[in-house]
Amino acid sequence: MISTKLSNPILKSQNIALSTLGAIALTVFTGSLSIVSTANAQYGLGLPRSAGTGGATRGNLPQITMLVPEDGAKTLAARPTFYWYIAPTTTAATAIPPSVDGKNSFKITFFLRDGNGRSAKSVFIAEGVADKAGLYKFTLPENAPALSTGKVQRWQIRWQTNGGASQVDVNAPIRRDEDPAISKLIATAKNDLEKARIYTKSAYWYDAIDAYTSWLAQNPQDQAAKSERSNLLKEGFKNHTAFSKSQEANITKLLSKLDESQSATSIVLQTKSRL
């Protein structure tokens, strides 16, 4: 996919919480690597390869791992929480390049699109800055359109430095599926761990990841919950291009890093008032 330049619409001062947190991961883009979807995963949407994820990199930027199966996944939420992981910088080739002000910061833009096609129209855009590697999450805010029920949509993360001279775009599919029976069970769950187990059993990937991560943020020593989350990730990754059998060390290293994450780093995004 060819990287595109950001437009310059008027910004509205609307603060949105975006934070790094212990979570999980699945769609990898680094250098010029572009990954397409794998079909028929238990937690995936079974999309054909032509409808799968894709990305492009310009310049030297760190590896981004999106926290979703390669062919997307479903959610019960109208405004779900999205997770991605920025690998720590270990070599000069992956170091975060300095921004125009000389600091190690970069611009981040979140997009929600009204379909799964790469040219699908953006229905929500928010942007801000970040200055470190780590685990991030973003919950679609109330001023954003709710996900359309039963429709595959696409969310996208763009990282830029030096006025766009270095840029990476990553994206993944999501589908909102309503289920009154599951919603009723969730409403009666006693805590996030119970919710996570209900979501996992019903293959609501995005919600399961969020519930497990929320529970572990408050209960970091719960080894059973850590193991359950790791097993969920391994199941979602098992047909993933970046975590194939010949690259099992990648998933092991990733899970280890996620388990080490105990704190969140909040940043602020501004909603674009005009798309």
Mean pLDDT across the stretch 242-268? 67
Cα separation, 184 vs 18, whole angstroms: 28
Instruction: Report residue 29's pLDDT band, with 50, 70 and 90 as the boundaries.
Output: very low
Q: Is the pLDDT of residue 53 over 80?
A: no
Instruction: Report residue 205's pLDDT band, with 50, 70 and 90 as the boundaries.
Output: very high
Q: To the nearest whole percent, how much of the chain has pLDDT over 90?
A: 38
Instruction: Report residue 244's pLDDT band, with 50, 70 and 90 as the boundaries.
Output: low
DSSP string, 76-132: S-SS-EEEEEEPPP-STTTSPPP-TTSSS-EEEEEEEESSSSTTPPEEEEEEEEE-S
Share in percent of the chain as helix, strand, coil (round to 5) = 25, 30, 45
C-alpha angle 230-231-234 in degrees, rounded to nearest 5: 85
Q: Is the pLDDT of residue 100 over 50?
A: no
At 39, which amino acid appears?
A
Average pLDDT of every residue of the chain: 75
Domain ranges in the chain are: 11-272
Q: Is the pLDDT of residue 109 over 70?
A: yes
Instruction: Report residue 13's pLDDT band, with 50, 70 and 90 as the boundaries.
Output: very low
- pLDDT value for 55: 43
Sequence-ordered list of residues with C-beta below 8 angstroms from that of 209, at least 6 positions apart, any chain: 23, 24, 67, 83, 229, 232
- Spatial contact of 33 and 63, defined as CB atoms under 8 Å apart: no
